[in-house]
Amino acid sequence: MKADLDNFCVILHEPRYPENIGAAARCCRNMGIPELIVVRPYRFDLEKMLRMATHEAAYLIENMLLFDDLEEALGPFRHVVGTTARTGRQRLPSHTPRNMAEKLIDLGPKNRIALLFGSESCGLTNSQLRLCQSLVNIPTTTFSSINLAQSVMILCYELFIAKGHEKTVYPKLATTRELEGMYKHLKGAFTAVELTNPQNPEYWVDNARRLLGRQELRSREVKIIRGFCQQILWTIENKKYFKQ
C-alpha cells in the first residue's frame, strides 16, 4: 500500500506575520498536505494571507482552523512533531527531516499527525515541546535561522518524497489529549509517593515523557498506565483513611 499525506497537518503556533501563514499554505498545497491550523496568530490579515497563498492554496486559508490554546489544537492528533533549532539534554532526541519523514510515513495511514512550528521570534518553548512525541531539527551551518515558510517547505517536501515507497502500516496511536491526561495522572502519582524534586517540580514527569515518548503508545496502553496510577492514588488515600 502506498502512503498518502491525507492524515498530515501543519500547525503554526503564534505566527507573527500573515504573509508567512499564506506562504506556509502554499507550501502545503505544493506538497499535498491537506490541512493548516493556526494558534493565536499575532496579526490576522486575511488579504495578506491569501495574496501569499495564491489562488491555488486559497482554500487552505479559507478552511484553516484557529485556536487560542495549543494543547486543545493538538488534542485529536496521535503523533506531534515539534520543530526546533535548539537541542539539548532536557529535550527529546531530534531527527533530521529525512529520517523523520520515513518514520512519519509509516505512521500516517492510521494516525493523524501534526507538524508543529513555533513563532518566528522564539520558536517553541520547552513546555510546548513537551506536547510533542518527537522533534525534528533542520541541519544548517552556524547560521541556523530559517524562515517559517522555508521550514514548512523542507518538512513537507521530505514527506512528499518519502510517500511513494511501500511502507509497513502502524496501528493507531494514543491522541495528544490521551497522553496529556496520562502525564497529569503520573504527576499525581509521583506526588502521592513523594517522588518529587523541589528545585524542579517537572523533573520526574519530564523523564517519563522522554521514556514513554519513545514507545509510540496506543490508547489501550495509556489506559493501563492511568489505571496503575489510579490504583496507587486509591491505595494511598485509603491507607490514610484507615489510619484515622
User: Per DSSP, what are the bridge partners of residue 8?
Assistant: 113
Local confidence band at 2 (pLDDT 50, 70, 90 cut-offs): very low
Determine whether 38 is exposed, middle or buried from the number of CB atoms within 10 Å of its CB (0-12, 13-18, 19+): buried
Q: Give the residue from 43, 39, 41, 34 showing the smallest Cα distance to 63.
A: 34
Task: Categorize the per-residue pLDDT at 78 as very low, low, confident or very high, splitting at 50, 70 and 90.
Answer: very high
- Per-residue pLDDT tens for 117-171? 999 988 899 899 999 999 999 888 877 778 999 999 999 999 999 987 545 566 7
Question: What angle in degrees, to the nearest 10, is found between the helix axes of 203-213 and 176-192?
Answer: 140
pTM of structure: 0.73
Instruction: List pLDDT tens digits, range 22-76.
Output: 999 999 999 999 999 999 999 999 999 999 999 999 999 999 999 999 999 999 9
Grid cell, residue 13, equals: 503556533
Mean pLDDT across 182-191? 89
- Which pLDDT score, from 0 to 100, does residue 1 have? 39
Confidence band, pLDDT 50/70/90 cuts, at residue 12: very high
- Tell me the per-residue pLDDT of 190-236, one tens digit each, with 9 for 90 and over: 888 888 887 887 888 888 888 888 888 888 899 999 999 988 888 88
**Length of the chain, in residues:** 244
Backbone φ/ψ region at 14: left (φ over 0), alpha (ψ -120 to 50), beta = left
Secondary structure (DSSP) of 131-167: T-SEEE----SS-----HHHHHHHHHHHHHHHTTSB-
Structural domains of the chain, ranges and CATH numbers in brackets: 8-162 (3.40.1280.10), 176-243 (1.10.8.590)
Handedness of CA 27, 22, 65, 41 (dihedral sign): positive
Distance CA 8, CA 107 (A): 10
